[in-house]
Every structure is written in C-alpha cells, then in structure tokens.
Structure 1
Amino acid sequence: MAFDLYALDSLGSDEIDEILNSWAGFCVCTDAIIRGNGDLSAGSKLAPLVASLCKHGLRSLVEDHFLQALEETFKTNAVLMFWQHFEAFHSSSTSEMPNVHIKEDWPQTVLIKALEEICLEKCYQEKCLLILVHSFQSYEENLSLETGDLNLCESNLMCRYQLMVSAVLLATLPSYFPEILRMYFKKKLEELSTVIAGVSDDVCESQSEMDIDDNYSKKNISKDHKLVKDIGKVVRDLRSLGFMSMSEDAYASAIFVLLKSQVNDLAGDEYRNPVLESIKEWIQAVPLQFLHALQLYLGDSVDYDNGSSGLKSPLASPVSSFPGVNMPSELLVRWKLRLEYFAYETLQDLRIGKLFEIIVDYPDSSPAIEDLKQCLEYTGQHSKLVDSFISSLRYRLLTAGASTNDILHQYVSTIKALRTIDPTGVFLETVGEPIRDYLKGRKDTIKCIVTMLTDGNPSGSGNSGDSLLEELNRDVENQEGADNDDNINSDDKQAWINAECWEPDPAEVDPTKGSNNRRKIDILAMIVSLIGSKDQLVNEYRVMLAEKLLNKLDYDFDSEIRTLELLKIHFGESSMQKCEIMLNDLIDSKRTNANIKASIPQTSQTEQGENDVSLNLLDATIISTNFWPPIQAESLNIPTSIDQLLSDYAKRFHDIKTPRKLLWKKNLGAVKLELQFEDQNMQFTVAPIHAVIITKFQDQTSWTSKNLAAAIGIPVETLNRRISFWVGKGILAESVGTASNDHVFTIADGMIDANRNGITNGNSEELSMADEEGDNSVASVEEQLQKEMTIYEKFIIGMLTNFGSMALDRIHNTLKMFCVAEPAYDKSLQQLQSFLSGLVSEEKLEMKDGLYFLKK
C-alpha cells in the first residue's frame, strides 16, 4: 500500500487524531520491544497499532521507523562493543614493542567472544523484527491476502535488516580487522595440519599393512571434528554479519600462506629428492579436506553431478578422487586447481631462485630439475627462468675470478639440465649465449675442453656427470645402437619420428634461427663450436697427448688408445692420423726396448765396472719427428757414463733398424735415482736436468751458480730456476756468493728432517715428475701458431703499407687469395686475430675501430 499525502486533506479531525495516537503508541511500543533487554511482552500491543497505521497507508513509514530504531540500538549495544574487543590488538600492532601474548591468544578468546555477543544481539533484533512481521501478517490476514505475499513481506524485511547490519559494520570497519581474521584462520589451519600429520603417523606405525583406502578413511576430517566446528561457527557468524567475502578471503589467504610455508619446508635446499608429489598429497590431505568438511558443516556443498554446476572446462575433468568424497563439488574442483597452480608457481620460483646451485650439483640434483620441468609445463613461465638464470651467470660465474675449467663444467651441466627441461633447446640457446661469448674470450678454453675430453674430471672440480669423455663414449654407443637397426633407413626413420612428434616452436624462439638446429641437443657439437673448428681441438689434443706420452714412466697407455678410438669415430680417422702414429711410436718403442735388451750378452753385464750403468736400466721412447708436435730441445751435458750408455743403445738400435739412427733429446724423459746419506737413503723420479744437477755434487760438495751452469751447459737463469727443486727438498743449501748475482750451493749440513716435505726414512720413493716450473716438453699450440704465422708477417706488413688500414676479415681473405704456394695459408679467422693481437702487443701494429694499421 502507498500513502497519498494529498489524502490528508480529505481526513477528518477524528481520523487525524487516530493516526497521531496510533503513531505515538507505535513509537513507545517499538522502544519497549527493541530496548527491552529480552522482554518481548510488549509485542502483543504492537499488532493493533500497526493495523491502524497500515489502514491509513503508513506501512512504509512503520517499516522505516522500526528498522531505524533497530539500527540505532544495534550501533549502541553491539557494534561499538564489538570493535572495542580488538582495540588491544590494534594498539599492540602499532606500537614499537607489540604484545606477542595478545597476538597468540586472542583467536580462541576475543574473536569468538565478540562474535557470540554481537550475534546474540542480532538474533534478538531478528526476533523483534519477526514481531513486526507477525503484526503485518495479522493485518493482512484480515484482508484475506495470499500466503505468498505474506512470505514476500517477511523476506523483504529480513533482507533490508541484513543489509542494514552489513552497512553499519562495514561503515565502521577498522583497517586491521581483515588481518585479525587472517591470523585466526592461519593458526587454526596450522593446528588442523598438525592433527592430520599426527593421525597419518599413527596410521603408518600401527596399521602399516592396512589397505590404502582404510588409511585414507582414518585421515579424513569429519564435519563434526572440533576444529572444523570451531572454524565453521566463526565462518557462519561472519557470514551472518555480512562478512562472507571477507571471511572467504581470510581463510583463503591463510590456506595460501600455509601452502607456501609447506612448499618451502619440503623443498628448501633439498635438491636430491622430488617434492612435487608430496606437496600435492598435502594439498589433498589438509586444505581440500578442510574445505570439504567446512562445506558440509555450513551446508553449502554443491552436488558435482548436478547439471547446474556447469563444469565444462577440461581442467576440471581429470580431478582425482578426494579421500572420503565420492564426487567433489564444483567449488572443491576449483579450489584444487587454484591450490595446485599456486604450489607449482611457488615451487617454480623457489627452484628458479636456486637454479645455479641446482645445476652445480647436477646430476645429483636431477629430481629438482624434474620438478621444475613439471612446474614450467603447468605455468608456462619459461621466460622467468631464462632472465633469472642469465642474471645469476653474469654475477656468479662469468667473472675473472672463475676458472675456465669451472665455467666449462657449469656449461656442460647447464646443457644437460636445460635439455631435460626443454628438449627443443629454445631456451638453452638464450641461456648459453653469454657463456659461449665469455668462453671464446678465454685463452685456455681449448686446453680445458681437451682435458675434459681426454681425462674426464682429473682436477676434481665439477661433477662426474660433467665429463665430456663420458659424453663422447655415450655418443659413440648411440651411433653403434643406430647402426644395428637395419630394418629401415635411419634418416627416414628419424624423419618419420620427427614428423609424428612435430610441435610448433614456442613464442620465445628466435625467428632468425632455424628449427632444425633445435631438434637435437648435441653437447659435443656445442662445445666444439666454442673453439671455432675441430682442427684447433685436434691440434690441442695432439700437443696434450704428446706431453702425456713423453712423461710416461711405463707403457701403460690403454686409456689413451680408447680415447683416440672414440675421437676417431667422432672427428674422423684422417683428423686423428698423426695422433695414431704417436701412439704407434710408443708401442714400437716398447717392442724395440725389449729386443735391444734381449741382444745384450750375459757376459757383458757381469763385466761392468762399479760406476758403469747397465743397459737394462734404460728405456727409450722413440718417436717419428715428422708426426709429433715440435719438441722443446735444450742443450745438456750429461755424465760420461750415461752418454756412453746412450751411444751403446743407439748403436744397437742402428744394427736392428738399419738404416735408421737415433737423435737423442737429452733434456726429455725421466730419471730414477737414489741418494745415499749417512743415516738414510732416498729415491726420486725427476727430470734429466734435475738428475744432472745433483750428480755434479758427487764430484764436489759446493758449486757456484756460474760454474755449475757452465759444467752442465745451461744458462744461469735456467739453473737457478731448476736447482730450486733440490733446495726445496732440503738436499741442497743456498747462500750468497762473493758477487751479488752469484749464488753458492752446497750439500745441506745434517741433511733434512725426516718428515720434511713428505720425505721419509728408508728406501722410499718420491715421484716428482711434475715440473714445478711449468716448462713443457712440447711447444704449445700458440707457440706453434706464432712460428707458423711468422712467414705471413711480411705479407701483412706489405698489405698495410699499400692500403693504409684493413679490417680483420679483409686481411684474412687477402691472405687466402694470394698465399697459395707452400706453405699455403690455411689458418682460421680466430687464429689470425690471435696473431695480429701479438703484433699489436709487440707494437708493430695498431688497431682502432676494428681496423689494423702500421705503428707510426
């Protein structure tokens, strides 16, 4: 009914008096009911007054006044007192020294008490409102209105009242209240997680043989569980006050905080065990079961097979069964997807932040890599991995303090780890680019690569999984396995496989690089690409192999033969031909030594003098000079008896291998000698020059550096550097001579302490083959290149004289065009650049803006 103001003009004085009296009585009765402190006896007087006012069309005025009275009373008796309960928490959170006791204890006391008080007041006011509703119903029943209209009346009034309650609370809401709710739900969920973990442990201990379904039933959270009931009552009270959205946000935030903490606890710095499945099990065991129990307690669970759920997304279809839940509701399905995505993203960020350490520990950390792969497949945030890892590489690896060997090991581990995460190699191209650029600028990159190819992991740095020798062996095994498949052409078969599993390239791919380059990640090919060409690698390997073979104390080179065979398969037999001849020289040397010793008559051995050396003690390494790298030769005056021994060996060799003759490199090889003192004997294995130096002290016990250098036939600087070996062992003592640049060396008085420098009493042997000064028997690749390139220096000087200045590539192309006679120019661009850098350092050339020109 609507009240027409213009109808007042038609009312008589008696009707007006009736309206005024009824309104006055209605106001008094309303105050008595609402502020009656539980006394609703005045409700019986309300019905006739409401009927009188409604008769004159004042129903809306009656409703507004009653609701306004409820609002004022609710503000005074409930709202102000409700917020006062939390003022202590607010003051502690804003002070410099917060009251920890209040923060920890209030969820069980203050929040529950405050909600109980305000809900009691609200419940009483709803009863008061029902009295008004019944008054309307009594009036309308007299008018014979339909029941539907009566129910609508009650529904409208209750909705208006609920909106009023929500509006009053939200208008006075303090900013810290959402944080209070989050803290409450977080604490309760932590308690619930502890309870579930305890039940799970009890089940495992007492019923280890029980069926898994029975175990799940033991761990289920019932809607009647005390913690669920406590939380459910709080949620229900908050909903009734209009805080439904805020309460859902609060326990959702608590669930996500607890999940993040659980991920950090399970993962942390543990890389050797997978954790993703454990995280998903925890999600299903704690938050999802809690949400299901809470739904049942609140009575708002949605039937999964109800057509109104409208689940069409394929993401919801593969949901696994929940423990104790026949069919999960749509809400649970959505929660499961949200929680799993958050878990994937959290674990992904944790692993990406520690990816550098994870790759350092690879392959032991492969479970962490597998977890990261699954996370990235779910989230698709590969670009975050690329950006973060490149930043870590620049600040932690690609620095002057990191050795080239460590960088290479990390690069190999990075290739293997990212090959697991992204088999297409798209992201490896981006991540590996700064490493490749940095390694190309290191001078010892080739040497370190060859060491990794031939010796595996000799220095102990990196992991066993980083060995390129193992990768070379694995690559050969794969080739042999492919050769055994004769049923179908391997190229056709691989093409068919590629066609069946073809997928478009990711959006992050560089469009300038073809897809075929990313279909197979070849670690060896990527490493060789750092060098520029396989010829440079083969040359470096040849030098390293020569150094190793020349320092062999026996003829045990099976590992070198195996490595050479692997390299021949990978790089071709023609490339490794010289290296094969070097190994054959060692095999022939072993046979030749045996034949020469067998030709020595027994009588000659028995007739040797006391100071003579038996030919049986000599083992010679006979090499074919044309196939070995240049040997570093030094003049050396060896003792007469040893010189005679070498001549005798050379004569016997000539008799067996006519017309071939030996040309001795007296500075190379190893000498086993024994030093006899009054109280002890010591054995050493040293270089020939060290042996010659110490034998000179048999003739006299003291030498000046100049005289000793002249007697041995080497420069004084070389002597001072080499004799430090014996000084360091305590065999010789050094003092300053009459001249400042001359030193005196004598046999040390009283010898040395028994345990000094690892020397022990008795007939012990100390292997000292490692040349402490770092001198090599074979010229390095750089030295060979410098020597070979010297013949082109005049061509380069002439070109720059005629043209003034030239770029690197133009010099390179010009040399290739005109230097075709023997020796023809066959160097790479990198080798030419290295040679030109040497000329710049010698101040023969200058370089500016990429152009070379003569030094003025």
Structure 2
Amino acid sequence: MAAVRTADSRQQWEIIKKNFCIDGDFSQINDSGEDLQLVVRLVQQLGAGQLVLDLALDAIWLALRQSVVPKFWQHFVTFEAQTNGKEDDAGEGSVEVMSRVATAVSELYDSAGSFVPQINRCEMLCEQSGAKFEDCIPGGLMEHFKLHLRATLHSQMPSSFMHLLHKFYSAAFKVFYQAEVGSQVEESEEVTDEPVPCGGCGGATDACHCQAITNTFCQVNKQLYGLDLLERLAGDIISSLLLSVITDHVSTTCRDSYDQSCINQLEKWVENVVVGWLELVYCGSRGQLSSADAAIQTMVSNNLNQTYMTALYHTYTTTRIDQLFNIVIEYPESQPALEDIRECLDRTHLRDRLVESLRSAIQTRLLHPGVNTTDVLHAYISAIKALRVLDPKGVLLELVSEPVRQYLRGREDTVRYIVTSLTDESCSELSEELLVAAPLVLDDSHSDDDNMDNWETWTPDPVHAHNLKSKSQRTADIISMLVNIYGSKDVFITEYRTILADRILSQFSYDTEREIRYLEHLKVRFGETLALLHKCEVMVKDVADSKRINTSINSDENPHREKQKFPVSAMILSAQFWPSFKEERLQVPEEVTKELENYTEAFQDLKGNRTLNWKPHLGQVQLEIELKNRTLNLTVTPTQATIIYHFQERNRWSIDDLSTMTQVPKTVLRRKITYWQTQGVLQEVESDVFVLVEGEETGEEGQTAAAGLPLADIAPPAIEEDEAESVMASAQDQREEELQVLWSYIVGMLTNLDCLPLERIHAMLKMFVQGSVECSPQELRAFLDRKVRQHQLLLTNGLYKLPKN
C-alpha cells in the first residue's frame, strides 16, 4: 500500500512539474484552463502551494539569467565585434544598426511573452492555494517579473550596448529632423546635376531608407515600452541626445546675433522638434492616437515638455552668459538679447554664474592699463543701461559694477573725461543725460521703496541683496552713478571749474551762452546752493564784465586811448573765484609792458580802488609780420609773439640768450620756436641757434608759405597745440595748494604738543578747520609722508614731530 502511494505521489509531482515548468521547459505549457484547475487542486491537496510557487518562479529567474538575457546581449557584442574599427556607410550603416537592434529587441519581446502563461498560472496558484511571493512590489506578479527582467539585463549589460543604442536613436532622430525641417533647407539650396544624398538616412535619393528606419524605430520603442524597458535602457541616451541637440541648435541660432529675440523661436523649435520626436518615441505616431497613446502623449506634453523647456532656458542662458560682455558693449542694439536673458533668468538659477562670469570678463578684457579711460567709461555706461534691462531693481548692476568703480577711481583722468563729456555736445551719450531735470542720488541717500502703499505690486529683493547699498542708489541715473564713483559732488564741480576756465581762456570769446546753459543744467543736477557752482557763475559773469570794461576803456571818449600804440583787451578775472593757474614766467617787451600799465591806469580810473595783476603768458596776440617777400597776419600766443619780437632787434639768437631775455625755460622755448619754424620765419642754422629768414633762401616750409597758400591752413595746428595745453594748474596741484592751508595748523599742533599720531592730527584738524578744507585720513597720511620726504617732518613709531633745528 505504501509502495502504491509512493508511485502515485511521484506521478502527481511529475504532473505538477510539467504544468508549472519547474524543470525549466516552457515550450510545452498547456493553456487549457480545465487541466490547470485540476493541477491546482492537486497542489492544494498536497499542501505544496508555496513550494510549487517558489520552484516555478526560480525556474523563470534561472531562464532569464542563463538563456533570455545572454541571448539578447549577444546581438550587441557580435555587432560591435563585426564593426570595430570600420567606418559605417552613411545609409547602409544606419539600416544595419536599426535592423540589429530591432532583431534583438523583438527576440527579447517574444521571449518575455513566452513567460506570460506561466506567470498567469502562478497568479492562479496564489489566489487558490494561498501561496505568496514578495509583495513589496506593487502591481502583482507581472510587475515582479518585469523587475527581475530589468535587474538581470542591467547585471549583464555589455559596454558596447550604450554606444550601439546611441547610434540607433541618433539615426532615428536625424531622419525625423530631416522630415520636420529639412524641406525648408532644401528649398534654399542651389540645384545641381550631381545626385544629392538623403539628409535623413544618408543614402541615395532613389534608395532612401528613412521610412524603414522610422517603422523599425517605432516598433522597437513600442516593444521596449511594453516591457517597461524604454525608460530604463534608453532614457539616459534619449536625454543626452536631446540635450546635445538643443545645445548645438542654441549655439547655432545665437552665434554673434544680439539684435533679434530668439527665445520664442527656440520654444517653438523645442515643441515641434524635441517634443514631437518624444511623442514618436513614446507613442509611435503624431497623428490619430488610441486612448492609451493619447494618455501617454499627455504625459509627454506635460512632463517632458516642461523638462526640455527648462533645459532650453538653461542652455540659452548659459550660452548668452558667455557672450554677455559683448552684449553689454553693443547696447542698445543688443536689447532683444537682454530681454531674452531676463526672461530666462526668471526660470533658471544662473544669476550667480552670470555675475561671476561678467565680473571676470570685465576684469580680463576691460580693467587693465591697455584700455583707454574713455573706453572704460563707455563700457561702464553701457553696463548701467544693459544690466538695468536684465534687472530693473539694480541688484545685478551693483554686484557687477563695483570693480569698475574702484578701477575708474584710481585713474587720474576719469573726472576730467566725465565732466568734459557732460558739457560737450559732441558726446551725446552723457550730454543728453545732463538735460534730464533730476537731482543727484548719492550713496548716503535713502529711499522709501520699502513702504507698503503699493503692496499688490511690491516685490522683495533677492536674498543675496541684503548687504548691498540703498535701493535709491541702485536705481539712480547714469550721472548719479558716475558721481558716486568718488562719492562727492565737489570733485566734479572743481574739475568743471578748471575746464570752464580753460575754455574761456583758450577761446577768448565773450559769447558765454553755451556755458550759461550748461551751468544752469549743472545747478539743477548738483544743487543751486553749492558754493563751487556759485564760483562758476562768477567766472561766467567775469567774461561779460570784461567785455563791458574793454568797450569802455577802448572807446574814443577815454583819455587814455591817446597814449595807446596798439589796442589792448583784457579778460579780467576775479582771483578768489577762479582756480589756480600754472606757474609760468614770461618777460614781455618793454613796449608791451607800457601798454599794459596804461590799461591798468584806465581800469583804476574806472573801478576806483581796484587794480590788475597781469598774467602775461596767457592770451592771444594779433601780429602783422613784414618780411622782404611776404607779409604774415597771424594770431599767436604771447610767448610766441615775444620770441619773434626779439628777432626784429637782431636776426640771430641762441636758446640761452633768448631764455635769459624772455625768462622762459629752455625746454618750453624750444617747443614754442617750432611754430615759427613751421611758418618758415625762423631757421636753425646751428644747434640751438636760430636766425630770421626773410629772403628767398627760406627752407621748404618758408617757400610753401610764400607760394600763396592760405595762412589758415598752416597756423591752426600750432595754435591748437597750445590750446590743448591747460593753462590751469592740475587737480593734484590745486589740491596740494589747498592742503597747504592745513600745514600751518599742523606745525602749531606739533610745536605745542611735541608729537602726535595720525588719528589725533586728523581729529584736531576736523575740530579747528571746520568746512574750509576737507581731508580724509588716507589723504592726510599721504600729505604728511610727503613732508617727511621733504625733511619737514619726522616719523618715529607712528608719531609725527617737527625736526629740531
């Protein structure tokens, strides 16, 4: 009886093994539901439900590891070995890649499908016998199977697979791209007799493989999607391919093109090309879709569309950041590109990168001695305008512009160029800014932007703006930004005084309408109460007063007119209101001195208790020079007139003798004589010895002048050279003169207190010299150090003291 039971049990077990493929043979699965019900009841009678389920699943996993997956990967290993080191033909190579991948995926899909009946039996066994599998995976036993399939595939993946799959998707995308946009390119190409290869597959036109590639591509993706392998095996490849395509397209579209907006065009391109191809990948079609495919398409449009749009914004912004220096310099032509960047910055996190990149580009390409101050300032002004397009709040501008401000502050000619540009109609960029009737906004100003009156439109500053300056400064106009390079109005008005003085004394014109107009604009900008602007008003008034005084003195009713040998007109300046002049000496001829004294007498008669202190080296002299063969009528400087005056006394002068006679330094005298050489009046016969040229033995320059050319064509260059030289003391010299006022106070302190540190000297000066001369501790240190080098002070252990006699 026991032997019979043993035989029956063995037979029952064989039936169970056969129906649940425990031996690994999945080719003889009987799909009959009636037989399967009997087998399940048999398993229940034996109480072996869990054992059978475990054995059946182990058989499936073993088949995947040892048969299905190795066979799948073998296709790729073989193909890589066959094509290693060989260049693919454009058309045939694509077709071969597509065919090999399609064959491998199709076999895998069929092999996986052969396990479906077995999985169904296992699920029935679980339902009726109570057997359980790992329930940590949602979706049932089929999802469990797909997970094992993915895990097994990844565990055995060969290195050649990614390369081949990349070729597969690249070839498919090329075909799709050609179908989408290739027709537009073909229309613009010239027609030739030579055969044109297909832009998609690369093969001959009469043997195009594009449709076959597309069909194969859709089939492979559908099968991979059905196995839940599309995203797992190809997701990274698809992403990297599309990101590369987006990067290349953005670079091509935006290469050195700043005057047109590109972002809308690029968004449409992503929707049509990138998202369109993704729909082909996941849905297999862009036309009529089933309900399931429509759901997939919705997923693609909502999720992947947003993903690749974000990638577009990031790529576009990164590309433009690399070009941002050129974009800023070319403003306002580049405003469309700036508006695109502003739109993309709101959708990315690249503000810090933009700031660092632009600061680095400015430091490398702009802030070095090889760049003129004019170019640096033009770039700074363009940056102010351009960065306010990117960020109207001015945070980006302040983060980027600080190195430029520091650099400009260290250049000596910055203030002069700014002031010259403000009051020069030829520089429209800044002169137009001066016409805006708005007061300056300085760094110490405060703004009420944070009030909540307009809370509906209020937006906070970025988090990294908490340590920046006031909002009013960030949104200040260009002139305010330039003034704040130095943080003081006085620096600019002082420079304006010097430039105004140069203009008046170089032109010697009584027409001050232009200067009055600019002065009124400056009063609006800098404030009417500024003392330095009042001095400028007095300077302009001096010109009008000089015209009236000259008219009175040179009138026929003036008794002093009878004494005049030649007319004298003076520009009478109020000494305390004008900036300091350069210290130059000139001894004019006695005849000229007498005429100046006569003018002084006439002025004293007119003004009573006032007199004149002449600056003989300044002004203009109208000369008529009679030579043997010509007469010259010229307007020259007093120094040039004095030089030629002495040549009527004798025809030959050395530089040494002439310097002694005129009291003009030899170097200056040599430069002034050059003018008369260019006129052909003087000639250097020996080193530093000059003679008057009157006859036809003149040099080449003299013959040119005698030939009848207009003198206006010859004289202006030399006159302009003199005009280009400022007659006023430099800003540094003027400041040194102002600081000398402090020297007497410092000497008195050190005389009474023996020795003092810098901080104590500065504090006492602020106390005793209030408002007359402002001096920072750094400037005071430099001034005292100069006194130390001149041996007027001693510095010991940080203490200044007077040297003992």
- TM-score, normalised on structure 2? 0.75
Residues 186-225 of structure 1, C-alpha deviations (whole Å, 9 max, x = no match): 45435544543355679999xxxxxxxxxxxxxxxxxx98
> Which residue is equivalent to 1:828?
775
Please give the secondary structure, in 2, of the residue aligned with 1:624: coil
Partner of residue 730, structure 2: 780
Are residue 436 (structure 1) and residue 405 (structure 2) matched?
Answer: yes
1:803 to 1:620, Cα distance in 2 relative to 1, 3 A? closer
Q: 1:122 to 1:279 in 2, by over 3 A?
A: closer
For the residues of structure 1 that align with 2:102 and 2:291, how far apart are their CA atoms?
31
Query: Who is 1:483 aligned against?
Result: none
Hey, what does 1:669 align to over in structure 2? 619
Contact 1:754 1:760 in 2 (8 A): no
Query: For residue 81 of structure 1, what is the aligned residue in structure 2?
Result: 75
1:521 maps to 476
1:445, CA displacement in angstroms? 3.9
| Pairing 1:196–2:180 present | yes
* Code of the aligned partner of 2:306: L
Shift of the 791–286 alpha-carbon distance from structure 1 to 2, 3 Å rule, reads same
User: Which residue number in structure 2 is paired with residue 377 of structure 1?
Assistant: 346
Instruction: Determine the structure 2 residue equivalent to 1:535.
Output: 490
**CA shift at 1:508, angstroms?**
0.9
Match of 1:286 in 2: 273
Cα 1:127/1:115, change in 2 over 3 Å: same
Matches of residues 756-771 of structure 1 in structure 2 within 5 Å?
761-765=709-713, 766-767=715-716, 768-771=718-721
Q: Is the 8 A contact 2:755 2:799 kept in 1?
A: yes
Paired residue type of 1:236? K
Q: What is residue 260 of structure 1 aligned with on the other side? A: 247
Determine if contact 1:670/1:686 at 8 Å carries over to the other structure: yes
- The one-letter code matched in structure 1 to 2:390 is I
Alignment of 1:90-489 (within 5 A): 91-92=84-85, 101-102=87-88, 108-122=94-108, 125=111, 166-186=150-170, 188-199=172-183, 229=215, 231-239=217-225, 242-297=229-284, 329-455=298-424, 465=429, 467=430, 469-476=431-438
Counterpart of 1:508 in structure 2 is 464
Q: Deviations over 1:9-42 (max 9, x none)?
A: 8744477479779989999x998x96xxxxxxx9
**Letter of the 2:75 counterpart:** M
Q: Which amino acid aligns with 1:715?
A: P
Cα offsets for 1:523-554 (capped at 9, x unmatched): 43343333343233222211121011110154
Q: Structure 1 counterpart of 2:76, which letter?
A: F
How many Å separate the matches in 1 of 2:57 and 2:740? 109
Query: Is contact 2:739-2:773 (8 Å) kept?
Result: no
Counterpart residue type for residue 287 of structure 1: V
Structure 1 residue 126: Cα displacement: 5.8
Percent identical among aligned pairs is 29
Shift in Å, 1:704: 0.8
Amino acid at match of 2:528: E
Deviation at 1:451, TM superposition (A): 2.6
User: Structure 1 residue 519: deviation in Å?
Assistant: 7.0
Q: 1-side partners of 2:619 and 2:59: how far apart?
A: 114
CA gap of 1:183–1:81, structure 2 versus 1, over 3 A, is closer
**AA of the residue aligned to 1:811:** I
Q: Which residue of 1 aligns with 2:135?
A: none
Q: What SS does structure 1 have at the residue aligned with 2:522?
A: helix
Give the 3 Å change call, closer, same or farther, for CA 473–254 of structure 1 in structure 2: same
Structure 1: segments with no counterpart, 5+ residues:
1-6, 35-41, 93-98, 147-154, 206-223, 310-327, 459-463, 480-490, 738-742
Aligned residue for 1:197, secondary structure, equals: helix
Letter in 1 for 2:461: D
Instruction: Go from structure 1 to structure 2 and tell me whether the alpha carbon gap of 1:357 and 1:77 turns closer, same or farther (over 3 Å shift).
Output: closer
Q: Who is 2:749 aligned against?
A: 799
| 8 Å contact from structure 1 (residues 352, 388) kept in 2 | yes
CA distance in 2, matches of 1:87, 1:535: 81
Contact 1:411 1:432 in 2 (8 A): yes
How far apart are 1:362 and its partner, in Å? 2.9
Match for residue 814 of structure 1 among 756, 764, 770: 764
Partner amino acid, structure 2, of 1:563: Y
Superposed, 1:551-570 pairs within 5 Å as 551-552=506-507, 554-570=509-525
Q: Is the 8 A contact 2:175 2:214 kept in 1?
A: no
Are the structure 2 counterparts of residues 416 and 650 from structure 1 closer, same or farther at C-alpha, using a change threshold of 3 Å? same
* Distance of 1:646 and 1:443 partners within structure 2: 38
SS at match of 2:464: coil
Partner amino acid, structure 2, of 1:424: K
Quote the Cα distance in structure 2 between the aligned partners of 1:442 and 1:811: 28
**Distance change >3 Å, CA 268–CA 493, structure 1 → 2:** closer
Aligned to 2:656: 706
Once the two structures are superposed, what CA deviation does each residue of 1:613-633 show, in whole Å capped at 9, x if it has no partner? 974xx7643333332223346
Q: CA deviation at 1:675?
A: 7.4
Instruction: Report if the CA contact (8 A) 1:807-1:850 is conserved.
Output: yes
Deviates more, 1:55-64 or 1:719-728: 55-64
Distance, in Å, in 1 between the alignment partners of 2:308 and 2:31 is 57
Q: Which residue of 1 aligns with 2:689?
A: 744
**Change in CA separation of 1:190 and 1:720 when aligned onto 2, cut-off 3 Å:** farther
Gaps of 5+ in 2: 130-138, 190-209, 442-446
Question: In 1, Cα distance between the equivalents of 2:726 and 2:387?
Answer: 39
| CA distance in structure 1 between the partners assigned to 2:459 and 2:245 by the alignment | 38
* Shift, 1:736, TM fit: 5.3
Contact 1:668/1:687 (<8 A) preserved: yes
Matched position secondary structure for 1:745: strand
- After superposition, the Cα gap between the structure-2 partners of 1:515 and 1:626, relative to the gap in structure 1 and judged at 3 Å, is closer
Q: Secondary structure at the match of 2:536?
A: helix
Shift of residue 261 of structure 1?
1.7
1:419–1:842 distance in 2 versus 1, CA, 3 Å = farther
Kindly provide the amino acid, as one letter, of the partner of residue 79 in structure 1: W
Shift of 1:720: 2.8
Aligned-pair Cα RMSD in Å: 5.3
Farther off after superposition, 696-705 or 720-729? 720-729
Give CA deviations for 1:543-584 in whole Å, capped at 9, x if unaligned. 121011110154454432221111111222232111112112
CA offset at residue 673 of structure 1? 5.6
On the 8 A contact 1:635/1:714 being kept in 2, the answer is: yes
How far apart are the structure 2 equivalents of 1:835 and 1:284? 68
- Does the aligned pair in 2 maintain the 1:303–1:329 contact within 8 Å? no
User: Retained in 2: the 8 A contact 1:192–1:227?
Assistant: no
Confirm or deny that 1:629 pairs with 2:579: yes
Contact 2:106/2:220 (CA < 8 Å) preserved in 1? no
Which one of the candidate residues 512, 529, 535 is aligned to 1:578? 535
- Give me the whole-angstrom Cα distance separating, in 2, the residues matched to 1:635 and 1:368: 59
Question: 1:679, 1:106 → 2: CA distance?
Answer: 95
